[in-house]
A and B are shown apart, each in its own frame.
Chain A
Amino acid sequence: MTSSTNFLNKTAVILFVGLLHLSGCAYTKGTVSGESHNGVGRFQIAVFPVENLSGTLSPLKEMRESVIKRLRTEGFPVLEEGILEKFMARHRVRYTGGIDQGTAKAFKEETGTEAVLITSVELYSDRVPPKIAFIARLVSTGDKPVILWMDGVGLAGDQSPGILGLGLIENPQELREKAMSSLLDSLMGYLSGEKGEMGIKSVKRKFSPKIVYRSFEISPDKKYTVAVVPFFNRSDRKNGGEITALHFVKELTRIEEFDVVEPGVVRQGLLNLRVIMEEGVSLANADIIFGILNVDLILSGKVLDYQDYQGASGTPKVNFSVLLIERKSRLIVWSSESYNEGDDGVFLFDWGKVNTAYTMTSQMAQAIGKIMVK
Chain B
Amino acid sequence: MVKLWRILFCSVLTVLAGCAGKGDIYRDPNMDFGAIQSVAVLPFSNLTRDNLAAERVRDVFINKLLSTGAVYVLPAGEVARGVAMVDIQNPFSPSPEEIVKLGPIIKVQAIITGVVKEYGEVRSGTTSANLISLSLQMIETQTGKIVWTASTTKGGISIWDRLFGGGGQPMNDVTGKAVNDLINKLFK
Please classify the interface of chain A as helix (H, G, I), strand (E, B), loop, or mixed, using the class held by over half of its residues. Answer: strand
What count of chain A residues pass the 8 Å CB interface test? 27
A368 CA to B76 CA in the complex, in Å? 20
Q: B8: CB under 8 A from chain A?
A: no
A319 CA to B56 CA in the complex, in Å? 9
A287 to chain B, nearest CB (A): 11
**Set of chain A residues within 8 Å of B79, measured between Cβ atoms:** 279
Q: Which of A118-126, A220-228, A328-336 contacts B (4 or more CB under 8 A)?
A: A328-336
Q: A282: CB under 8 A from chain B?
A: yes
The reply to whether A304 and B77 contact each other, CB–CB distance below 8 Å, is no
**Set of chain B residues within 8 Å of A339, measured between Cβ atoms:** 172
B179 to chain A, nearest CB (A): 9
A368 to chain B, nearest CB (A): 13
Given the known inter-chain contacts A210-B172, A234-B52, A304-B56, please indicate yes or no for A282 contacting B75, CB distance below 8 A: yes
Number of residue pairs spanning A and B whose beta carbons lie under 8 angstroms apart = 71
The reply to whether A279 and B77 contact each other, CB–CB distance below 8 Å, is yes
Give the contacts of A128-162 with B (CB-CB under 8 A).
Answer: none
The reply to whether A285 and B77 contact each other, CB–CB distance below 8 Å, is yes
* Cβ-neighbour of B60 out of A211, A234, A278 (below 8 A): A211
Q: A197: CB under 8 A from chain B?
A: no
The reply to whether B64 and A211 contact each other, CB–CB distance below 8 Å, is yes
A167 to chain B, nearest CB (A): 31
A10 CA to B60 CA in the complex, in Å? 67
A211 CA to B73 CA in the complex, in Å? 14
The reply to whether B81 and A284 contact each other, CB–CB distance below 8 Å, is yes
* Cβ-neighbour of A280 out of B60, B73, B77 (below 8 A): B77
Q: A321: CB under 8 A from chain B?
A: yes
**Set of chain A residues within 8 Å of B72, measured between Cβ atoms:** 331-332
The reply to whether B77 and A282 contact each other, CB–CB distance below 8 Å, is yes
Q: Mask for B145-188, Cβ within 8 A of A = 1, else 0?
A: 00000000000000000000000000010001000000000000
A209 CA to B176 CA in the complex, in Å? 13
Q: B84: CB under 8 A from chain A?
A: yes
Give the contacts of B40-73 with A (CB-CB under 8 A).
Answer: 52, 55-56, 59-60, 62-64, 66-67, 69, 72-73
* Cβ-neighbour of B78 out of A213, A283, A319, A335 (below 8 A): A283
The reply to whether B75 and A283 contact each other, CB–CB distance below 8 Å, is yes
Q: A281: CB under 8 A from chain B?
A: yes
B26 to chain A, nearest CB (A): 27
Additional pairs, 5, CB under 8 Å, beyond known A234-B55, A282-B78:
A283-B78, A283-B81, A285-B77, A302-B76, A335-B66
A369 to chain B, nearest CB (A): 18
In the complex formed, the residue of B with least CB distance to A301 is B59
**Set of chain A residues within 8 Å of B52, measured between Cβ atoms:** 234, 304
**Set of chain B residues within 8 Å of A331, measured between Cβ atoms:** 72
Q: A288: CB under 8 A from chain B?
A: no
* Cβ-neighbour of B75 out of A212, A304, A323 (below 8 A): A323
The reply to whether A280 and B80 contact each other, CB–CB distance below 8 Å, is yes
